[in-house]
Amino acid sequence: MRIAISLPSGDLVSLRLGQDHWLTSVNSWSKEMQEDLGYSDETRIREVRGARDTQALEAWLKNAGPAAGEAVNLSIVVPAYNEERRLPPTLIDMIDFFDARPATYEIIVVDDGSKDDTSGVVQKFEKIRTQVRGIRLPKNYGKGHAVRTGALNAKGELILFADADGSTPIEEVDRLVEAINSGAEVAIGSRALQSEETKVKTRFYRKVIGRVFNFLVNMFLLPGVADTQCGFKIFTKNAARFLFSNQQSDGFSFDLELLLLARKAQLSFSEVPVNWENVPGSKVNLVFDSAKMFCDIFRFAWIHRSISADDYQKSLPKEP
């Protein structure tokens, strides 16, 4: 379904919702394009092809972010590299989900030097939702660098990072928050743990490679963790500040480094089964990146050999 919205700036914003989401904004349209979108000068917001009703749309547009100085309950960090097509539906799903909650939130999209119009897409969302904030990096540093940048700029009491493709539905955050409320300082989504309430849809070869890699991780670095690489993890503010400040990896292996740091600092963390579905367009090269991550196992063990629980305690804010 598709909707057309006129912004206070005079720009026309079109949202197509469904299998092929996209968001675009222009200052002028040909008559044919306006007719196709169902837009007219006397209609500020109009339903097109079964879009949501006018009142719901107005509420969606007017729902502003936290007032200046108001605490942010949850920050969502979304690393993005060449994600102009996969990012819009993910952001729409996040906005719709958190708008229905009383908690305040922010979404930080870190454009990791994209060559497409990822930043342009984020800017269009920024125009209509103050909860969305974009950070553009000057070049492609890597996913780890992008997540670290977003996390260290986050304002939330809890900080979640989630992949731009929406492979883990945003609703799964409730499972992670429940683990945090039960005492965990870090909660990680897992595709490997079995649960009657969750289902993982992926290709067989990806599952095999993942299992082999995780076997090696368990053997040499992190025994007892079933899935280190799921792109859906949440941290308390203090834990995030400590972990991301000590993180050195810019690439895909940053998850390993964060979990190693958490274990050495004796942070309590919980692994939680989540729903997950493989979305085409992954930037991970299963052969090259897996080999590099395997080498990083030993590098992380060496460079963080002296990290201890005392280091984390020293990083905590001093009581007034």
In this prediction, residue 260 carries a pLDDT of 95
Q: How confident is the model at residue 68 (pLDDT cuts 50, 70, 90)?
A: low
In this prediction, residue 58 carries a pLDDT of 59
Q: pLDDT tens for residues 218-263?
A: 888 889 898 998 999 999 999 999 999 999 999 989 999 999 999 9
Check whether 12 has a pLDDT greater than 70.
no
In this prediction, residue 162 carries a pLDDT of 97
Pairing assessment for the beta strands 186-190 and 269-273 based on DSSP bridges: parallel
311 contacts: CB under 8 Å, gap ≥ 6: 242, 265
Average pLDDT of every residue of the chain: 81
Q: How far apart are CA 23 and CA 29, in angstroms?
A: 15
Q: How far apart are CA 290 and CA 269, in angstroms?
A: 24
Q: Which domains does the chain have, with CATH numbers?
A: 2-62 (no CATH), 72-315 (3.90.550.10)
* Token pair recorded at residue 199: 């289902």
Average pLDDT over residues 281-302: 80
* Token pair recorded at residue 126: 């920024």
Q: pLDDT tens for residues 34-63?
A: 343 343 333 333 333 334 445 555 566 667
